[in-house]
Amino acid sequence: MTQHTDQWLHDQFQAQAQTIEPPADLHGRSVERAYTAKTRRRRIQGTLAVGVAAVVTGAIVIVSGSLSPATQPTPADLTPAPTSWTFDLYFTTGGGRAVDPTAKNPGGRWKLTSETVTVPNSGDQPLDIVNALVAHAPTVEAINGFNFSSNGQLPIAEVNSVTVAPKVITVDLDREVWDPYPTMDCICPPGDAVMQQLVWTLDTALDIELPVLLTINGEPARGIWFQRLDGPVSLEGDQGKKQEQSAEFDKPGIKTEVDPPAPSIDFGTTNAWFGRFHGAHVVVYAGDAGYERPETGKVIVFTYDDDRTNRLGYTRTVPGSGALKIVAIAKPIIELQDRSGARYELNLDTGTLR
């Protein structure tokens, strides 16, 4: 009986389908809407006006013999492709003691927050999106896990490719993003939230819900910022808040998968500064939390060679109030200030602090 009814329903669909006549202009309208979709979406969302310039009409190459003359889009059907993309990039905010000092999770609650950007259209929107994410420094106080901080624009990796398949989006980077600070004993930002930056940015910008697989030169990445990855990562957080462009994560930024194990410390608000010094990339870190001895301020300087694969790191500790602010960098001098207003100068050339 079941098999009989299965077949009967199947036949009903096939019979009914034969009676359905698609609208005559379906093809032309579909192509037109596809070419204008981004423009319309932006208008609806009330975000940014889209610059439209490049005329692609002449660039449309009709595959010879594959379309009948009646179904070929005419020049009037086609509108110019946008010269730029507008979408939201997601960054990690929150965390640290300042968010909730009474929370059991000393790392606080990490949240994603978004900023709208417009980038030139290279013809590969997924790649444009991820390239923007790794290159963009948020204007709000937030962590971009794909470049070292909110202040700098030194990407931790280059994007090889972004491939959207029916089941997964694959983001291939050119170097591992497991441990950007291998020589320091402070904790890293939350890798899970950083990964969600990528998932939320791609899924939202592409208006689709697909997991994201992170690969390094074609091989699955072992993780990101001490957060191990085991295959594609799906959108997390309250999806009901997706429209509000905010997601919360309860997970702390503390991970224990560090070899050797990291001490039990917090990661707090930090600012990193970047520059070039004696041919090397220089990253300077300072902050008032996230250190083994919070009563003592600490300046951490990392140097990287030009391809950023060999890293050196050393620290300079400043006894005092426990907070340091980088006032200025005039190579090779980094000028620092603590909460009391006392000034220090760290000489990167000699390693001296005075």
For other proteins, the binding residues (CB under 8 A) are: 1-6, 8-10, 12-14, 16-17, 20, 22-23, 26-27, 29-31, 33-38, 56, 59-63, 66-68, 71-73, 81, 123-126, 162-167, 206-209
CB of 211 to other proteins, least distance (A): 10
In the structure encoding, which two tokens stand for residue 154, read together?
A: 């030194």
Indicate the residue among 118 and 270 with the shorter CB distance to other proteins: 118
Indicate the residue among 54 and 140 with the shorter CB distance to other proteins: 54
CB of 231 to other proteins, least distance (A): 15
Indicate the residue among 214 and 326 with the shorter CB distance to other proteins: 214
Tell me how far apart the terminal alpha carbons of the chain are, to the nearest angstrom: 89
Indicate the residue among 26 and 342 with the shorter CB distance to other proteins: 26
| CA-wise closest residue to 270 among 253, 289, 251 | 289
Indicate the residue among 85 and 225 with the shorter CB distance to other proteins: 85
326 three-state secondary structure: strand
Indicate the residue among 10 and 278 with the shorter CB distance to other proteins: 10
The answer to whether the beta carbons of residues 284 and 300 sit under 8 Å apart is yes
In the structure encoding, which two tokens stand for residue 348, read together?
A: 């990167």
Which residues are registered as beta bridge partners of 330? 333
For residue 65, the 8-state DSSP code is T
Cα(292)–Cα(314) distance, integer angstroms: 15
| CA-wise closest residue to 190 among 108, 301, 132, 115 | 108
Containing H/E element for 35? helix 26-45
CB of 207 to other proteins, least distance (A): 6
